[in-house]
Amino acid sequence: MQIFIGGYVYAKIASLLHMIYNTKSVFDYTMSLLFSLPFLLVANMLFLPSNGDVGSAAQYNPPYIPTACNGDDATQFPSSNMFAAAGEGIWDNGAACGRLYKVSCISAIVPGTCNKGAIIPVKIVDRAKTSASRPSSDGCTMVLSQAAFDAITNPSSAEVVNIDFQQV
């Protein structure tokens, strides 16, 4: 469907350009453009690229220290308790330490798990592979603190959720 709509949009643009060069009346061109503009704007919104990535998230419980980023320093944790351990895909040899991400739950195996509309900020404070507390599931993009996981999910038995995340 997107290819068809995209082809239609390009055909419409081509016909407008043809009309510009072959029009006898500026009024005809202006009216045609005014009627086509709303459609072109809506079609353009359909093709905007997403800036986020899709991955998976598990949770881990205390103890959270020591961490791979700042050892035993308790000041590394945000007061909101919205933090995470980076999975190998985003760890980046430790460069992920301190990065901030916007995270939202998009799906899970257990229906109704995601708290739709909840978008939380999380700070990377650890590496999931070496965290002091083991995650509920290995191999995830992020392992969220208990508070962060609870903020984007409803109470359920899901150990892993699919997430949309974007570095901020």
pLDDT tens by residue, the chain, 168 residues? 444 455 566 666 766 666 666 655 656 656 665 666 666 555 555 554 456 899 999 999 999 999 999 999 999 999 999 999 999 999 999 999 999 999 999 999 999 999 999 999 999 999 999 998 989 899 999 999 999 999 999 987 789 999 999 999
Torsion from C-alpha of 113, 116, 122, 125, nearest 10 degrees: 10
Give the pairing of strands 142-145 and 53-60. Answer: parallel
- Check residue 154 and report its DSSP letter: -
CATH class, 53-167 region: mainly beta
Q: How far apart (Å, rounded) are the C-alpha atoms in residues 102 and 24?
A: 53
Cα–Cα distances (Å) from 11 to 18, 33, 36, 114, 160, in that order, read 10, 14, 12, 40, 44
Report CA Rg, the chain. Answer: 24
For 77, other C-beta atoms within 10 Å of its C-beta total 18
Backbone φ, ψ for residue 72 (5° rounding):
-95, 10
The token duo for 24 is 């006898």
Identify whether 78 is preceded by a cis peptide bond (ω within 30 of 0). Answer: no
